[in-house]
Chain A
Amino acid sequence: MEYILHLLIFISIYILLSQSLSLTSGYAGLISLAHVGFYGIGAYTAAILSVNYSVPFLVTLPLAMLLSGLIAIIVSTISLRTVDDYFIIITLGIQVVIFSVMNNWQGLTRGPLGIPGIPSIKILGVSFDSKISFLLLSMFFVGIVWFLLNNITRSPFGRILIALSEDEIFTKSLGKDVYKAKIISFTISAMFASIAGVLYAHYISYIDPTSFTIHESIFILSIVIIGGMRNLWKVALAAAFLVLLPEVLRFVGMPNDVAANMRQIIYGVILVLVIFRSSDRIHKGKTAIEKTSKKSTVN
């Protein structure tokens, strides 16, 4: 039972991460590999504040969101000067920089040693140390984020995002501020990712930089791609599927280190297959649009 609860908590953390990435990568069409960076910023903010200064959860959560939002604004203002593939490479770079700060700024983050002993969450005297209560808490956050994302994507702003990912020039010609919309969506998704980070840090009670590597970023991106980019429900299902997959491998009786590699191999294969399928489907009847949108100018 404990084990199932543990898996459910992980699924909700990954649902948070992948749905928030779906806002930038799916709706706005900005493929970001820096998402785990913001997840890590959230986790480290929570860990450092609660371990060193014993700041309560209700304060660390907004602080973590603010911090990662701030960094996201700065980073996206710079990186959104580029487009398409270059943007992906830049976000990869941002991810590497954030990781190397976590790994090397030993005065603050204790580097590869990680931060142990993160206290469990206490809200107004109620402590969330049992698994079932933590699951309820994280599902509460998943619910809020899901609700917000659902509303954002259906709002006029969400339609701007979809429009700009389809045809940037056309959206600009309607008088929409494309650059600003992109920055806003990037920032919102970074802030949501940091919620997942805070939850993760308090749940595991120990964090180190290896949880926030580029491979994790690729993993979350593949959840979003497998989930069909613009569908919150399917993204959530894909998250559950990909989190449960390695557990199945473990039941089959694979040793742990082989299972870790097998998990990555499987999601790599799925990623390639999905690209094969998607290009088949999406491109029918859309080639003309695609051709014009390829010619969009640089900001």
Chain B
Amino acid sequence: MQLILNIFVSFSLLLIVSFSFHLLYQVVKFFHIAHAVTITFGAYFTYLFSVQFSWHLGAAILLAIFCAVIISGFMELLIYKPLRRQGTSSWKMLIASLGIYVVLQNIISLFWGDGTKSIRTWAVKTGHNIFGAYITDVQIITITASIMMFVGVILFLRFTSLGQQIRAVSSNEELSNIFGISSGRVILWSFVIGSALGAIAGILIALDTDMTPTMGFHVLLYAVVAMIIGGVGSYKGLIGGVLLLATAQHLSAYYIDSKWMDATAYIILILFLIWKPLGFSGKLLKKVEI
């Protein structure tokens, strides 16, 4: 029972990270690795405001999300946008994004050190008992917040004007430009939404466990694997991929050893590439069709 609960908690965390990454990927069409640092920034800014400045936690969280969004907005405006204008191919964008990640992650290390930090100032409680399993308050918040955000953003994408524009740009950028949608603005907005989700995920992770400067990268790698397993372009596939990955990780942690969790994730990815190279939904390699 505890195992199922743990799977569910990490499922909901991973879902949010994977979903936000997927949102950005669909719009910008390259792997925005620097998203990892947005996640980390969310956690570290919360630490800065709530622990170091000892402000109220709620205000600190809001401000942290804001700061993380600003930073990723600058990434888009200062680096990705000029590169896109030059017509840079997607792997070069990926490398540039990797460069940004390296720079910002080391800046975090410079400011806060490589050690583990914790936002928790309160005493650790033994959570609530549900059917013989223990769940902490933070984990309840994580699950509800993630599912609410997931559903909320999907509804947003479907029913609001901006959401529809985002979907239009992700399906065909040139065509939506012809229809008068300014793709630059839409991409910036999706960076705002995606980074806010990423920052929230980072804060939730930091509340649940602790944080290190490389935590974002770690989570993001799982999220990317989940996205590839699920297949790009389908939310059902994404949920399936995340669920499979979370389950496999916890089972391997339970039956083998928790240190093999990374390897398990990638072995699943490799198995998928052998037997089902297109992911659950079969839309993985759509961008390279003739």
Contact = CB atoms under 8 A, between A and B. Distances in A.
Nearest to B84: A279
Interface string A1-23: 00000000000000000000000
A78 B31 contact: no
A225 interface: yes
Nearest to A82: B273
Interface in B239-272: 257, 259-260, 262-263, 265-267, 269-270
B209 interface: no
A100 B263 contact: yes
Secondary structure at the B interface, as helix, strand, loop or mixed, is helix
A202 B219 CA distance: 35
Interface in A248-297: 258, 261-262, 264-265, 267-272, 275-276, 278-280, 283, 287, 290, 294-297
B288 A297 contact: yes
A296 B290 CA distance: 7
Given A78-B273, A104-B259, A275-B96, A89 B228 contact: yes
A100 B260 contact: yes
Given A100-B262, A261-B110, A265-B107, A86 B285 contact: yes
Interface in B179-202: none
B285 A275 contact: no
What interface size band does chain A fall in? 35 or more
Contacts of B87: 279, 283, 287, 290
A89 B96 CA distance: 14
A261 B221 contact: no
Contact of A272 (B99, B110, B263): B99
Contacts, number: 141
B103 interface: yes
Interface stretch (A90-98, A179-187, A233-241): A90-98
Contacts of A264: 102-103, 105-106
B110 A85 contact: no
Interface string B89-118: 111111110111111011101100000000
Interface string A96-125: 110011011000000000000000000000
Contacts of B265: 93
Given A265-B103, A272-B99, 10 more contacts: A84-B91, A86-B228, A93-B266, A262-B106, A264-B102, A269-B103, A275-B83, A276-B82, A279-B83, A295-B290
14 contacts: A82-B285, A84-B90, A88-B94, A100-B259, A104-B257, A221-B95, A261-B109, A264-B106, A269-B99, A275-B83, A279-B83, A279-B92, A290-B89, A298-B277
